[in-house]
Amino acid sequence: MDALYDFLPVPSANAEDTTPRLYPKIVSKGTVTFEKLTEQIANHSGLTKGTILAVMDEIEYWTAQYLSDGYRVQIGNIGTASVSLKANTEVYDPSDVHAQSIRFSKVRLTASKKFTKQCQGNVLRAPSGKKILRNPKVHSEEERLQLLQSYLESHAYITLKAYGELAGLPKTTAWRDLNKWTEAHLIGIEGRAPHRVYVKLP
């Protein structure tokens, strides 16, 4: 099966250049759940799902243990996991910063060359019905809030994903909007992640 791609325009940093460059990007077909992955491994290998889940639990546990001790961890031929650190404040003099001000930030997975090569398949230009959705208009924050409030007038709630699609925003920016307006008591929030929804205040 072929992967589908589309082009995304990226504005030039040069203000005089009004023609955006086009960059190819994969059109996602969705996310393969871990449940589906374990079923396929079980069918392909003959191992039981219980065995697969037990091995995965051990890999997760020991990977986390070694990363927390400052090691890099090779995960088969997939790649190597490592952690990055972050200071709570800007650092100019190392002597002014104590260990309490340094914390773990992100876990990164660097794919191996072998795994990267294995992932290289055929690509086809996505048909018009499956292209990457683009927002034809960039809304201001005030306009986005108005869009949200209008939506909540006729709907009982909205999810993070639905708001992102409504406003044409990536997930992180959409969450930032909703979190800001929740703290400002402009909208309400119900439930816990991943089932959290946002509602109109009474």
CATH of the domain at 179: 1.10.10.10
In a domain, 49, yes or no: no
The pLDDT score that the predictor gives to residue 101 is 76
Provide the residue range defining the domain that includes 156.
Answer: 141-199
In a domain, 173, yes or no: yes
Mean pLDDT of 144-151: 88
- Look at residue 19 and tell me whether its pLDDT is greater than 50: yes
The pLDDT score that the predictor gives to residue 115 is 94
The total domain count for the chain is: 1
pTM, two decimals, is: 0.56
Helix, strand and coil in the chain, % to nearest 5: 40, 25, 35
Does an H or E element contain 35, and which? helix 34-45
Q: Is the Cβ–Cβ distance between 163 and 176 less than 8 Å?
A: no
In a domain, 20, yes or no: no
Sort 2 into a burial class: Cβ within 10 Å, 0-12 / 13-18 / 19+.
exposed
In a domain, 94, yes or no: no
Q: Is the Cβ–Cβ distance between 199 and 189 less than 8 Å?
A: yes
In a domain, 107, yes or no: no
In a domain, 184, yes or no: yes
| Cα separation, 6 vs 22, whole angstroms | 9
In a domain, 181, yes or no: yes
